Amino acid sequence: MKDAGNSALASMKKAHIAFYLILAILLVLITWGGYSWVRIMFIDGVGITGSSDLVPWGIYIVGFVFFVGTSAGASLVGLMIHGFGRKDYEPLGTRAILVGFLSLLAAVLFLMSDVGNPFRAVLLPAVLRNPTSMLVYTSITYVGFAALMLAELFFAVKITLKGGKGSHWDEKMAQVLAVGALLFALMVVHAPHGALFAFLKAREMWNTPLLPAHFVAVALASGIAVIIHITIVTSKITKKEIVSKETLSHMGGLLAFFLGITLFMDFFDYLVMSYSGKPGGLEIWHFLTTDFYFFFLINTIGMFSAMVILLFKRGRNITGLFIASNVTILAILSYRWNLIVVAQIPPLFPGTGNLYYTPTVPEVAVVVGIVALISFLYLVLTTVLPMEETVQEN
C-alpha cells in the first residue's frame, strides 16, 4: 500500500517535471516568435517574409483563417450541452470555451503579424471608417465574440465552483450565452470571413457564393477535430477519462457529418472549376493538381479517409478518433493553404510567368511563436481554472 502511494507520488512528480519542461520549451518558442515579430515589424520590415507584391498574403492569413474557424467550431460543445441538453458533454464545457477564446486570440495575433502597421490596426474595430469593407465588420465581431466567450467562461466557472449546479439564473445565462455564442460564431464571425474572400471578384478561387457556407462547414469540422484531439491527449496524460467513450464517439459522428458536407461542397466546387473551362478556373485547377498537388491530396484524401474512418462505429474508438482528428486538422490546414496561397498564384495578366510563395524562417518563427503562446496559455489556464468534473478515473 505504502509502495503504491510512493510510486503514485513519484509519477506525479515526474508529471510535474514534464509539465514544467513543456512550459519551458513553449516559452523558448514564444521568445523566438516574439523576436522574429519585432524583427519583421520594426527592424527589417515585412519584406523579410515570403509575401510579395503579386502574392501579398501568406501563411499568416492561412493561420488566421484556420484559427478563426476553429474558434467558431469549438462553440459547438456549448450548444451540445445547453442547446441539445447533452449533459455528457459537460466536462468539456470550460475547455471548449478556452479553446475557442485562445483560437480567436491566435487569429487576431496572426492578423497583427500580417499587417504593416499593427498598432494602428488594433484601432480598426473602434475607429470604424469604411462601411463597405468586410474587414471592418469582421474585426468588430472579434470583440463581440471574445466578450461572449468571456461571459460564457465566467458562468461556466461559476457553476463549476458551485459544484456543477448553479442557480436558475446562472444556468439560464449559460444556456443563452452558449447558444448565442455558436450562432454568433458561425453566422456573424465566420460566414463573413468567407465573404471577406468571396467579395474579391479579381480572384477566381475566392469569388464564389459557396465560400461563406463552405467556411462554416470547415469551421465546425476543425473545431470538433481540435476538441477531440485535445480530449484524447489530455485523457492520456492525466490518465483520467474526461468524457465517456460514447461521447467521444458521438463527436466523431458529428465530425464525419461536417466532413461529408465539406467534401460535398469541395467536390462540386472543383468540378465546376475544372469542367466549366473558364480560363481562371482552369488555371487554379492546373496549379492545384501540379505545383500544389501535395496539399491538394492531403486536403481531399485526408478529409475523405477521416470521414470513412468515422462513419463506422468501429472506427470511432480512441485510436480511430485520434487518427481521424489529426488527419482532419492536417487536411483542413492544407485546404486553408490552398485557398489562400493557390488563389493568388495564377497571374492576373497572361504571360507574366509563374508566381511563387515560400514562407521564410522569421515568418515561420512567428507562426510557431503564436501557436506556442496559445498552447502555453491553454496549459496554464486549464491548470489554474476550476474544470468541470471529469467522468471517472480509469
Partner 1 sequence: MKKLNRREFVKLAGLAGGYALWPPKLGVAGRDALWPQKLGVVGDIIEGITGFNPTKPSGALEPIPGVKFGMVIDLDRCIGCRRCSYACSRENNVPDIISPPYITLFETESVTGISGIYHPTETPGAGTTMMYTKLRKDKWYMPVQCNHCDDAPCVQVCPTGATYKAPDGIVMINYDKCIGCRYCMVACPYQARRFNWFHTGFTPKCRIRIEIH
Enumerate binding residues for partner 1 (CB under 8 A). 41-42, 44-47, 51-54, 56-57, 111, 114-121, 123-124, 126-127, 129-130, 132-136, 139, 199-203, 344, 347-353
Q: Pick between residue 136 and residue 377 the one whose CB is nearest to partner 1.
A: 136
Q: What is the dihedral of CA 219, 239, 236, 376, to 10 degrees?
A: 60
**Calpha distance 259→106 (Å, rounded):** 24
Residue 177's Cα: distance from chain center in Å? 21
- Cβ of residue 52: shortest distance to partner 1, in angstroms? 8
**Gap between the Cα atoms of 170 and 100, Å rounded:** 21
Task: Please name the residue ranges forming H helices in 75-133.
Answer: 76-78, 93-114, 118-121
CB of 69 to partner 1, least distance (A): 19
Nearer to partner 1, 190 or 316 (CB): 190
Which residue, 1 or 127, has its beta carbon nearer to partner 1?
Answer: 127
Q: Shortest gap between Cβ of 37 and partner 1 (angstroms)?
A: 13
- What per-residue string of b and e applies to 207-229 under the rule 16 or more CB within 10 Å gives b? ebeebbebbbbbbbbbbbbbbbb
What are the grid coordinates assigned to 364, written together? 515561420
Whether 310 contacts 259, CB under 8 Å = yes
- What distance in Å separates the CA atoms of residue 287 and residue 338, rounded to the nearest whole number? 10
Chain length of the chain: 394
CB of 350 to partner 1, least distance (A): 6
Closest distance between partner 1 and the C-beta of residue 147, in Å?
19
Please, what is the minimum distance in Å from the beta carbon of residue 187 to partner 1? 21
Largest Cα separation within the chain, whole Å, is 78
Q: Amino acid identity of 243?
A: V
Quote the least distance from Cβ 135 to partner 1, whole Å: 4
Of the pair 137, 304, the CB lying nearest partner 1 is at 137
Instruction: Say if residues 72 and 187 touch (Cβ distance below 8 Å).
Output: no
Among 153, 134, 145, smallest CA distance to 181 is for 145
Question: Smaller CB distance to partner 1: residue 129 or 165?
Answer: 129
Long-range contacts of 142-147 (CB under 8 A, 24+ apart): 142/104, 142/107, 142/108, 142/189, 144/184, 144/188, 145/71, 145/104, 145/181, 145/184, 145/185, 145/188, 145/189, 146/101, 146/104
Name which of 22 and 121 has its Cβ closer to partner 1. 121
Question: How near is the Cβ of 349 to partner 1 at its closest, in Å?
Answer: 6
Residue with Cβ nearer partner 1 (50 or 260):
50
Identify which of residues 116 and 209 has a Cβ nearer to partner 1 in the complex: 116
Q: Which is nearer to partner 1, 3 or 53 (CB)?
A: 53
What is the smallest separation between the CB atom of 111 and partner 1, expressed in angstroms?
8
**Smallest distance from the beta carbon of 357 to partner 1, in angstroms?**
12
- Ramachandran region of residue 351, left (φ > 0), alpha (ψ -120 to 50) or beta? left
Q: b vs e for 236-247, b when ≥16 Cβ sit within 10 Å of the residue's Cβ?
A: eeeeebbbeeeb
Cβ atoms of residues 259 and 328 within 8 Å: yes
Toward partner 1, which CB reaches closer, 344 or 375? Answer: 344
Return the closest-CA partner of residue 223 out of 188, 270, 193, 190.
Answer: 190
